[in-house]
Amino acid sequence: MIIKNIGELGRFGGMAVVIALFFALHISIGAKAIPLADVFSALIARDDTIFDHIVVWDLRMPRAVIAIVVGAALAVSGALMQGITRNPLADPGLLGLLAGASFAVVVAFGIWGSAIVPIMPLVAAGGALAAAGLVLWIATAAPGGARPLTLILAGAAISAFLGAVIAAVQLLDQENFDQLRVWLTGTISGHRMSYLGWCLPWLAVGFVAAFAMARQITSLAMGDDVAVGLGVNVVQVKIVSLIAVVTLTASAVTLSGPLGFIGLVIPHVVRLFVGTDYRFVVPYSALLGAAYLLFVDIVARVALAPVEISTGLVTSLLGAPFFVWLVRAKL
């Protein structure tokens, strides 16, 4: 037991070091490169008379912090969805939650404008929940019921439909929706820490619920009958997990727009190292998701420098091949 605890502590420590290194590198890279020594100096003792310190604190650190939060939120959402549905292809993007959240934000923005910003997490949560319900209803009504393949097909159909509606709305009112154009491709640039402040309560609810349900989800992943036999309240676990998935996904969409494939890729990578026990899958997914999105955002900034591409495009380019491999391996 002592050896196992030491091993887990070492793995957690290793992941924390990786995140810290990516965090420092993320802040260092940009239109104006800042040496790592100056980054550490700025983080330890801010001096507003030094321009690099202002850049670090006011521009680059908020982006890095948001990358950590969004990466962790989407990865944990994917892990929960895969455990609850026992569907290896489950992911907030593939099952329509990202599209539903984005659609709700676009519609609300079109009606009320920037006044919705403080309640964007709530608006996005409503859209994600509605889309998830619609996907489940369509998949359940299909021949054979809500199997992994029917869920993916229903999610793809709903995502495509909502994406088309969003595009049509933008074309009809290009001036008002221009500021959402980049956000809809998935990006964490240009955000202030105030956005994170509006999302913190929702993120707290989501992460607390996810960690609280981790042990029960391990039992649930073996089947509802097995879980009931082990004393798990299946309905309660599914409801609480759904709350966690919706709140985390809504917060991530609010902060970054729709970033696909993170919730699909990260939990599968985590299981290669820690197995199927969700007491470890959930926290390691959070850590690896944070490190992964920091890395992806660095790539988005340097791949075509000095031009910066949307982070969502990079997550799709990296995630799509993994999704194809997973479909071939699992279906």
Q: Which of 121-135, 169-183, 266-280, 289-303 has the lowest mean pLDDT?
A: 169-183
pLDDT in tens, 48-98: 888 888 888 888 899 999 999 999 999 999 999 998 888 888 889 888 899
Q: What percent of the chain has pLDDT over 90?
A: 37
One DSSP character per residue, 48-69 reads TTSHHHHIIIIIIHHHHHHHHH
How much is the average pLDDT of 256-276?
Answer: 91
Q: Which comes out higher in pLDDT, residue 243 or 171?
A: 243
- Say which residues have a Cβ less than 8 Å from residue 145's Cβ, sequence separation at least 6: 139
How much is the average pLDDT of 134-141?
Answer: 87
How much is the average pLDDT of 131-152?
Answer: 81
What pLDDT score was predicted for residue 1? 41
How much is the average pLDDT of 240-246?
Answer: 92
* CATH fit for domain 2-330, picks 2.60.40.10, 3.40.1160.10, 1.10.3470.10, 3.40.640.10: 1.10.3470.10
What pLDDT score was predicted for residue 168? 84
What pLDDT score was predicted for residue 210? 95
- Residue carrying the six token digits 């790539």: 299
Residue among 79, 84, 89 at smallest CA distance from 223: 84
What pLDDT score was predicted for residue 192? 62
CA distance 300 to 261: 16
What pLDDT score was predicted for residue 247? 94
Judged against a pLDDT cut of 70, whether residue 331 lies above it is answered with no
How much is the average pLDDT of 207-213?
Answer: 95
Judged against a pLDDT cut of 50, whether residue 3 lies above it is answered with no
CA distance 140 to 44: 54
How much is the average pLDDT of 237-263?
Answer: 91
- Say which residues have a Cβ less than 8 Å from residue 285's Cβ, sequence separation at least 6: 72, 75, 76, 78, 79, 266, 267, 270
CA distance 181 to 46: 34
Q: Which of 98-107, 147-156, 205-214, 248-257 has the lowest mean pLDDT?
A: 147-156
CA distance 176 to 158: 25
Domain range summary for the chain, segments of one domain joined by +: 2-330
Distance of CA 220 to the CA centre of its chain: 23
25: confidence class by pLDDT, cuts 50, 70, 90: very high
What pLDDT score was predicted for residue 75? 96
SS3 assignment, position 99: helix
CA distances from 226 to 168, 223, 231, 279, 325 (A): 47, 5, 9, 18, 30
Judged against a pLDDT cut of 90, whether residue 270 lies above it is answered with yes
Mean of per-residue pLDDT scores for the chain: 86
Q: Could you tell me if 191 and 133 are in contact, meaning their C-beta atoms sit under 8 angstroms apart? A: no
Give the chain's end-to-end CA distance (angstroms, integer): 37
